[in-house]
């Protein structure tokens, strides 16, 4: 299936979760902030949140700021 | 060493909050944060660039400092609320420095959208610290909707111009029901000390430290300046007077009548 | 903790000099001098009242501080020279804070008489620190006759008005060949920090400490303010700028092109 | 003999010195500054400086000042 | 004599607007209005006291001046709209100086209620001139809803403190799409001239004239000050510079190489 | 239109004195002098270049203005006296603007040499107007030797920075026995108005007019500013106050109890 | 009938209009601003606006203000 | 004979006066200020002041200044 991550299409295996996706993308889950289809995903649910075909994800994190 | 600052029931020993932006390197940032002695540091929230995943800024922060995420990049209440929710869901603290800035030139906040977002976020359980133009009437409204503090700007972000809007900040301090944190535009420790002397509860400094020739030394200078100003506020400053008053007897060696 | 100040070859660790006038009690004075961390304290010279001989102020000063006698009460060069000679003959240090003040209302110094007395006293081997209006041309003349430092006033003695004459003090600092010690009128630690940030070598404070509700705490505040300002001067202050400059990325969660 | 001290006439015994005078006046020599007939007297010479009839003395000391 | 000011399509020859409050007598008010040369004068709207019907202030105004009713006494948008409607229905002009002031101590306006009332009144066909804290973001919103001008305060009403909030007024002037009329706090003609020099389109003055020893003379002084400032703005002011620049040749009688 | 200024027994209707330096052309200078309405204009004295004899500046001045020669180019009292004598012998007025300026960078006057030259020239029958740093004690000395006026600088020549040394100028005005003419550094009509409001008797302006885009218009602006400030001074300015004071009744339509 | 004017009860004759009321109250209609039952009354309609029993009027006018 | 004017040697005819010199130099006497051997020359005496060999003159005039 295909999901969109930060505007880019990504192939995702069936059963892919937010957590496994982040790992595949080389993003330490630590401090990765995830929005799925416009809704924020609770960190505790990264592992339990299975992705679905067509999901749109935004992955963000803390950056330098004032 | 000073009396603690209390925001939303939390005691802070340092009345200096620093930003993490504009440093030449993460190491320079870290050293400055350590030298500043601050307990709260602000961070923004941004998209990860999947093509070049740098280290997270948070990996460079010293132990024991607490992150204060801001909503930088928001031009509307809706965008700010979205960032706040994402930050909290992802495990950042539920304290939020609320900034809604429609104008990229002067980076001044939007009073209407800020108030709207503040009410929404307080309702969702956030501890909200809004960045505002010094506006005593807006301050009252933000207090009324339950903000934990208000953060009036001294002058435009990054200008280093000091308390150009001192007059309305003085009014805010006089009538404050929640802490007043002077944010933006403080360019020198004397500015920070002045803000504390007039009764501000804390200050937030970023550019003046990050862009100094020696950020760690400047961070220390601001720490001292904030402590100087707070100490003076509590010690009871003299009134300014129009005329002179001698510190030495005027008689000298002359016989006194 | 800062770089030492050198006046006439003597190293001073503290860049804060305090006066001993106007305290509510000798104990309050001592505590404030201790809290200030200063090494030099000014004293005046006055006739002893034979009918009521009080304790000497010097009995109340902490160990290790050095007296800097002034010529308060002098309206002419002749009177100032007389006091300086008497102080030295009687065992006080040969450093003299030279003040020649004809005007009891504004307590402003006389440039002509001050220059005359300075030349005389330098010739007699004194280390002379003249109190002057910020006057860059007079500064050059005082340097030329051999003064060890110049002490421009920030604003009238005891006014607490801060750097009302900042502009000419900046010029003096720019061209100084001997240390510039800002004296008189500093009412708050932010004023002291500002003086140090613009490049003054030290400051002298009396009224703002002695007349504070808590003189010892205020003395500590000034110590911190002076250290903050000096540290910032050495750390390289940012330039003030007209416009704003963001500390956070403006993009927020929006996709970056 | 008679000397004037800070504007006031004082009897002085023959052989009176600055030092003895200060003691009689209850002034610890420590930090007493003495001017005799318009000339400052060196502290080391307080004991050696014998007063003469008609001398005018000013006795001063450090006081609180800024 | 100056270039005309255009507000909502109407040409005004005078850039000075005066208030009618606080005069010692109607005659003093009249004389000052005449001396000021202004074409617009503000009036408030108040209940008639049936027990003592005084003459109407309007009977004392000179020919040819236009009334600019304000909404003084309004703490909410609703109250302000009510007053504006009543004034227009009763035959006053449909220009309205919109002031929504919840705070009796500092008399600062409410940005949210002011914006709400402005949108409503513009929709009803009024020419709306809102009184605001200098807030460049609020200015944009007021322009967007169709206000004919914005009237930022220089400092609190009646304080005579001058341009304490100069910095944000400068920003408003820089980005203005409708005239900026500096209102409140101008205490001297030099303040009015300064406002015009920095680019304000007009100023409103009341207390400084009405409370002067000689109101008519002070009105004339403000007229001159406004004209001076506007003329200077158009004539191209020199840039301020850090250093000196001689006005005379430095050679004097010396031979020039 | 204002009350006349009297210097050395001569009545002057204009309180604005202008310089003739730095104009782009003699015609621009003449037009500005005319527009300024001034009666006194300053000129320097310089060697004639025998290789290229230009027209004399005096050929370009309008009828009825009086020349006030200055001693520009003098670094010592001796040089200043020499220029003054040469000017008078050659038929220029015996009024002299005395300037003794050793420092080419900041163009600040020498208090000692200025006093010396002033005493000499007064003794020789000149009407002496010395250019000085604002120094109230020096002012007294210059009055004592018989100067007809004193001309303190507002800020360095040509800087256009306005009343940076306002505080000591206020003291001079308070104690003045001869007219105080604020000279140098006034960059805008608001600066000139401010000087007059605080009690200066007149101002001298050169760079701000000569270097304006439209010198004649700027000259007119300064004339208006000076008149505005003087008129306001005589009309009784209001006191600045900390808090607000309403200009309109606060009741609005609400019933009054 | 009775109307309330600026908070005070006033007797009014039948057929009383805003205009006649103002006259009776000694208020030159010139610049009198009238609100009837919370609605502003147009000046042109002062004569045509007949009062009714129980009407609440607010009568105002321009006063000194800044 | 030779005189020095503003640092430059000038031939001067016998009987030359300040006035005639100024004319020869094309300087309208009007506003020319003359110093002769360090002493200012009174305008009234320009005609009567005969130059002598070796005289040093400074010729100045009003210039633009502030």
Residue B89, H or E segment: helix B77-89
Hey, which residues of B are catalytic here?
A: 97
Shortest alpha-carbon distance between residue C72 and chain B (Å): 6
Q: How large is the ipTM?
A: 0.92
What are residue C23's DSSP bridge partners? none
| Residue E58 with chain G: CB contacts under 8 Å | 30-31, 61-62
For C57, which residue in chain D has the nearest alpha carbon? D63
List subunits contacting chain E, requiring 3 or more Cβ pairs under 8 Å.
Answer: B, F, G, H
Q: D31–C48: do the CB atoms touch at under 8 Å?
A: no
Chains G and A touch (3+ CB pairs under 8 A): no
* Percentage of the residues of chain B whose pLDDT score is greater than 90: 79
Assess B102–C contact: CB distance below 8 Å, yes or no.
no
**Phi/psi at B41 (nearest 5 deg)?**
-130, 140
| Residue B246 with chain D: CB contacts under 8 Å | 66
Q: A60–B46: do the CB atoms touch at under 8 Å?
A: yes
Dihedral of CA atoms B4, B8, B9, B15 in degrees, nearest 10, equals: -10
For B215, which residue in chain C has the nearest alpha carbon? C235
| Residue H63 with chain E: CB contacts under 8 Å | 248-249
* Percentage of the residues of chain C whose pLDDT score is greater than 90: 79
List subunits contacting chain A, requiring 3 or more Cβ pairs under 8 Å.
Answer: B, C
Q: Look up the pTM and report it.
A: 0.93
Q: By C-alpha distance, which of A5, B242, D37 is closest to C255?
A: A5
B170 in Cβ contact with B196 (< 8 Å): no
For H27, which residue in chain F has the nearest alpha carbon? F53
Give the pLDDT of residue B163: 92
Shortest alpha-carbon distance between residue D61 and chain C (Å): 5
Q: C251–B73: do the CB atoms touch at under 8 Å?
A: yes
Lowest mean pLDDT among C117-126, E89-98, E180-189, G24-33: G24-33
Mean pLDDT of all residues in H4-23: 90
Of D26, D42, D58, the CB nearest to C47: D58
- The contact set of C with D (CB < 8 A) is 19-23, 29, 42-50, 53, 56-58, 67, 69-70, 72, 82, 85-92, 157, 184, 204, 206-207
Shortest alpha-carbon distance between residue B139 and chain C (Å): 23
What are residue B68's DSSP bridge partners? B42
Assess B86–C contact: CB distance below 8 Å, yes or no.
yes
Give the pLDDT of residue B198: 97
Per-residue CA distances from F227 to D56, E254, F3, F194 (Å): 62, 39, 10, 11
Distance (Å, whole) CA F110 – CA F103: 9
Mean pLDDT of all residues in C69-89: 95
Give the pLDDT of residue C2: 62
| Residue F166 with chain C: CB contacts under 8 Å | 164
Mean pLDDT of all residues in D1-29: 88
The DSSP 8-state label assigned to residue F70 in this structure reads: B
Hey, which residues of C are catalytic here?
A: 97
Mean pLDDT of all residues in D18-26: 88
Render pLDDT for E9-43 as a digit per residue (tens, 0 to 9).
Answer: 999 999 999 999 999 999 999 999 999 999 999 99
Please count the residue pairs, one from chain A and one from chain C, whose beta carbons lie less than 8 angstroms apart.
Answer: 15
Shortest alpha-carbon distance between residue C252 and chain A (Å): 9
**At what angle are helices E26-36 and E215-235 packed, to 10 degrees?**
20
Give the pLDDT of residue F90: 92
3-state helix, strand, coil in chain F (%, to 5): 35, 20, 45
F32 in Cβ contact with F60 (< 8 Å): no
- Region label for F158, one of left (φ > 0), alpha (ψ between -120 and 50) or beta (otherwise): left
Give the pLDDT of residue E127: 98
Shortest alpha-carbon distance between residue F73 and chain C (Å): 16
Task: Label residue C123 exposed, middle or buried (CB < 10 Å: 0-12, 13-18, 19+).
Answer: exposed
Residue F164 among the catalytic residues: no
List subunits contacting chain C, requiring 3 or more Cβ pairs under 8 Å.
Answer: A, B, D, F
Which one from F22, F97, F116, F141 is the annotated catalytic residue? F97
B217 in Cβ contact with C168 (< 8 Å): no
Distance (Å, whole) CA C176 – CA G2: 87
Mean pLDDT of all residues in B91-101: 95
Distance (Å, whole) CA E248 – CA B91: 69
Shortest alpha-carbon distance between residue G17 and chain E (Å): 15
Residue E49, H or E segment: none
Give the pLDDT of residue H29: 63
Task: Label residue B55 exposed, middle or buried (CB < 10 Å: 0-12, 13-18, 19+).
Answer: exposed
Which residue in B133, B140, B141 has the most chain E C-beta atoms within 10 A of its own C-beta, making it the best mutation to test that interface?
A: B133
Give the pLDDT of residue E14: 96
For C109, which residue in chain F has the nearest alpha carbon? F137
Give the pLDDT of residue E2: 62
C-alpha C102: how far from its chain's center?
20
For B88, which residue in chain A has the nearest alpha carbon? A42
Per-residue CA distances from H38 to C19, F82, F83, F85, F87 (Å): 54, 9, 11, 11, 13
- DSSP result, B40-67: EEEEEEEE--TTS-PPPGGGGSPTTPEE
Please count the residue pairs, one from chain E and one from chain H, whose beta carbons lie less than 8 angstroms apart.
Answer: 15
Of E102, E108, E138, the CB nearest to B111: E138
Write out the two tokens for B135. Answer: 């506006």
| Residue G62 with chain E: CB contacts under 8 Å | 43-45, 56-58, 67, 69, 87, 92
Q: C85–D6: do the CB atoms touch at under 8 Å?
A: no
Render pLDDT for A11-43 as a digit per residue (tens, 0 to 9).
Answer: 988 889 999 998 888 887 677 899 999 999 999
- DSSP result, C36-59: HT-SEEEEEEEE--TTS-PPPGGG
Q: C70–D66: do the CB atoms touch at under 8 Å?
A: yes
Render pLDDT for B144-176 as a digit per residue (tens, 0 to 9).
Answer: 999 999 999 998 888 888 998 999 999 999 999
Give the pLDDT of residue B254: 63
Distance (Å, whole) CA H5 – CA H22: 10
Mean pLDDT of all residues in B193-201: 98
Distance (Å, whole) CA C227 – CA E233: 44
Q: F48–H30: do the CB atoms touch at under 8 Å?
A: no
Q: Which residues of chain F carry a pLDDT beneath 70? A: 1-2, 252, 254-257
What are residue A52's DSSP bridge partners? none
Q: Is the model's pLDDT at C228 over the cut of 60?
A: yes
Hey, which residues of E are catalytic here?
A: 97
Render pLDDT for C173-209 as a digit per residue (tens, 0 to 9).
Answer: 999 999 999 999 999 999 999 999 999 999 999 999 9
For H36, which residue in chain F has the nearest alpha carbon? F86
List subunits contacting chain B, requiring 3 or more Cβ pairs under 8 Å.
Answer: A, C, D, E
- DSSP result, chain C: --PPEEETTEEES--EEEE-TT-SSHHHHHHHHHHHT-SEEEEEEEE--TTS-PPPGGGGSPTTPEEEEB-TT-SSHHHHHHHHHHHHHTT--SEEEE-----TTT----HHHHHHHHHHHHHTT-EEEEEE-S-HHHHHHHHHTT-S-BEEBSSSTT-----TTHHHHHHHHHH-SS-BEEES---SHHHHHHHHHTT-SEEEE-HHHHTSSSHHHHHHHHHHHHHHHHHHHHH-PPPP-SS---SS-S-TTSPP-
Q: B246–D35: do the CB atoms touch at under 8 Å?
A: no
Render pLDDT for E108-148 as a digit per residue (tens, 0 to 9).
Answer: 999 999 999 999 999 999 999 999 999 999 999 999 999 99
Q: By C-alpha distance, which of B188, B187, B202 is closest to B155?
A: B187
Q: E108–B135: do the CB atoms touch at under 8 Å?
A: yes
Mean pLDDT of all residues in B250-255: 66
Mean pLDDT of all residues in C43-57: 83
Render pLDDT for F105-142 as a digit per residue (tens, 0 to 9).
Answer: 899 999 999 999 999 999 999 999 999 999 999 999 99
Q: E46–F157: do the CB atoms touch at under 8 Å?
A: no
Q: Is the model's pLDDT at C105 over the cut of 80?
A: yes
Cβ neighbours, 10 Å, residue E240: 13
How many H helices and E strands in chain F?
8, 10
Cβ neighbours, 10 Å, residue H3: 20
3-state helix, strand, coil in chain A (%, to 5): 15, 40, 45
Q: How far apart are the first and last CA of chain H?
A: 39
């Amino acid at each position: 299936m295909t999901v969109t991550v930060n505007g880019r299409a990504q192939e995702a295996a069936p059963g892919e979760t937010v957590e496994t996706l982040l790992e595949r993308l080389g993003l330490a889950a630590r401090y990765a902030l995830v929005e799925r289809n416009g809704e924020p995903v609770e960190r505790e649910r990264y592992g339990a949140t299975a992705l679905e075909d067509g999901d749109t994800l935004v992955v963000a994190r803390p950056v330098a700021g004032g | 060493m000073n009396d603690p600052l209390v925001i939303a029931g939390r005691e802070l020993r340092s009345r200096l909050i620093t930003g993490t932006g504009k440093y030449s390197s993460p190491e320079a940032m870290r050293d400055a944060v350590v030298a500043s002695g601050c307990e709260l540091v602000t961070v923004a929230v941004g998209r990860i660039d999947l093509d070049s995943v740098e280290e997270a800024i948070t990996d460079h922060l010293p132990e024991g400092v607490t992150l204060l995420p801001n909503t930088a990049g928001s031009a509307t209440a809706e965008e700010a609320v979205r960032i706040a929710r994402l930050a909290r869901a992802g495990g950042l603290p539920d304290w939020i420095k609320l900034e809604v800035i429609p104008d990229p030139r002067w980076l001044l906040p939007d009073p209407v959208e800020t108030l709207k977002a503040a009410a929404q976020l307080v309702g969702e359980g956030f501890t909200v610290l809004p960045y505002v133009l010094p506006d005593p009437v807006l301050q009252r409204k933000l207090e009324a909707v339950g903000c934990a503090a208000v953060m009036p700007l001294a002058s435009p972000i990054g200008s280093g111009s000091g308390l150009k809007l001192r007059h309305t900040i003085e009014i805010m301090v006089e009538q404050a029901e929640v802490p007043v944190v002077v944010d933006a535009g403080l360019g020198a420790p004397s500015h920070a000390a002045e803000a504390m002397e007039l009764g501000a509860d804390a200050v937030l400094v970023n550019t003046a430290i990050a862009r100094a020739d020696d950020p760690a030394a400047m961070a220390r200078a601001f720490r001292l300046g904030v402590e100087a100003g707070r100490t003076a506020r509590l010690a009871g400053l003299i009134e300014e007077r129009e005329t002179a008053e001698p510190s030495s007897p005027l008689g000298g060696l002359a016989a006194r009548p």
